Amino acid sequence: MTDRLHGSARRTIGIYAPLLLFVTFALFPIYHMFLTSIKTDRALYNLSLNPLLVSLGALTAEHYRLLFTDTLFASWLMNSLIVSLSSTAIAMVISILAAYGLTRVRFRGADTFGIAIFITYLVPYSLLFLPLTRVVTWLNLADSLWALIVTYPTFLVPFSTWLLMGYMKTIPEEIEKSAMIDGCNRLQILTRIIIPLAVPGIVCATLFAFSLAWNDLLYSLVFISPTEKKTLTVGVLTELIRGDVYFWGSLMGGALIGSVPVVVFYVMFMDYYVSGMTVGAIK
């Protein structure tokens, strides 16, 4: 009896202790961000206080007020949403078509194409912005959100295509053959059979693509200068650090709000992220 208790206690510690350690490590920055954003500047800069705690008297909403009234934070948030959602949507349409074509339509050079896409994915995107600047200027898109909507897919598409190709390869080919005999053409197979079956893969690719677009700093910084057109990442960074003055409270508040949409999207779609959708198709 004592042995069993002993065993289960050891089991609990064995599982939860490392887990607790990991959760602490992962959530600490968010905790610190949150704390910083609700402390008064006086408490923030007082070196004699514990930086990981806050007293009730030192609470303030001032940093958030500054964010929403003295800066264009709401516009930046909106810009980020528009750009990330549109570029993700564009990238997903292209990627689904490309991934299906490359995995299932046996055309000459399909493999070469697949590898070419992979190589594109390997080109550092921090180098790609140089030539892209010229393209954006030539297209007359500089300083507009379109500059980002058009350029984000350049790194979203190769990434999502590869991810989706891997997923689509797991869908048994016989299902497609069966659909073909049942009277489907390629496009009908894609829309009626493959896409419904690839939902977990598509959700996964969409989430990753959205986060990539949402987190981008470089392209947004390079292609867009007017304050009201800036995305959240660039807006917070450029408008809340003035010279050597850091508006720490508002910076952290902006960063915190900026992470909310990603969290929301992940939580929303996690339910769809059901693997094993193809269980039952074959043996």
Partner 1 sequence: MAKLVVENLTKRFGSVTAVDRLSFTAEDREFLVLIGPSGCGKSTTLNLIAGLEEANAGQISIGDRQVTHLHPKDRDIAMVFQNYALYPHMNVYANMAFGLSMRGYSKAEIDRRIQEAAEILGIGNLLQRKPRALSGGQRQRVAVGRAIVRKPAVFLFDEPLSNLDAKLRVQMRAELSKLHQRLNTTIVYVTHDQIEAMTMATRIVLLKDGICQQIGRPLELYTRPVNTFTAGFIGTPPMNLVPARIQAENGKVMVAADSFRLPIPTRWRQAYERLKSMGVIFGIRPEHMRGTREGDIAVDAATVARLEVDLVEMLGSHVQLTLACGPERLIALADPALSVKAGDRIPVVFNMDSMHLFEKREPQRRIDAAPAA
Q: Which of the ranges 57-65, 146-154, 171-179, 255-263 carries the binding residues for partner 1, by CB under 8 A?
A: 171-179
Name 96's Cβ contacts closer than 8 Å, sequence gap at least 6.
164, 190, 195, 198, 202
Of these, 46, 177, 246, 275, which contacts partner 1 (CB under 8 A)?
A: 177
Which of the residues 187 through 206 are near partner 1 (CB under 8 A)?
188, 193, 196-197
Smallest gap from residue 185 Cβ to partner 1 (A): 8
Nearer to partner 1, 135 or 274 (CB): 274
Q: Which is nearer to partner 1, 33 or 175 (CB)?
A: 175
- State the binding string over 231-250 for partner 1 (x if CB under 8 A, else -): --------------------
Is residue 174 part of the contact set for partner 1 (CB under 8 A)?
Answer: yes
Residue 183 sits in the site that holds partner 1 (CB under 8 A)? yes
Dist. CA 186–CA 265, nearest whole Å: 31
Minimal distance, residue 272 CB to partner 1, in Å = 13
Does 75 sit near partner 1 (CB under 8 A)?
no
In sequence order, the 6+-apart residues with CB closer than 8 A to the CB of 79 are 145, 229, 230, 231, 232, 235
Q: How far is the CB of 110 from partner 1 (least distance, A)?
A: 15
Is 215 among the residues that bind partner 1 (CB under 8 A)?
no
> Which CB sits closer to partner 1, 109 or 183?
183
According to DSSP, the β-strands at 245-246 and 241-242 are antiparallel
Question: Does residue 109 belong to the site contacting partner 1 (CB under 8 A)?
Answer: no
For residue 275, the minimal CB distance to partner 1 (Å) is 12
How many helices (H) and strands (E) would you count in the chain? 15, 2
Q: Is 180 in the site for partner 1 (CB under 8 A)?
A: yes
Cβ–Cβ < 8 Å for 30, 259 = yes
Check binding of 277 to partner 1 (CB under 8 A).
yes
Question: Under 8 Å CB-to-CB from 277, ≥6 apart: which residues?
Answer: 197, 199, 200
Q: How far is CA 169 from CA 43, 89, 158, 162, in A?
A: 56, 22, 17, 11
Residue 90 CB partners (closer than 8 Å, separation 6+)? 149, 153
Is 110 near partner 1 (CB under 8 A)?
no
278 binds partner 1 (CB under 8 A): yes
Contact 102, 114 (CB under 8 A): yes
Neighbours of 2 (CB within 10 A): 6
Return all residues near 180 (Cβ < 8 A) that are at least 6 apart: 189
178 binds partner 1 (CB under 8 A): yes
Is 142 an interacting residue with respect to partner 1 (CB under 8 A)? Answer: no
> Applying CB under 8 A, which residues contact partner 1?
172, 174-175, 177-184, 188, 193, 196-197, 277-283
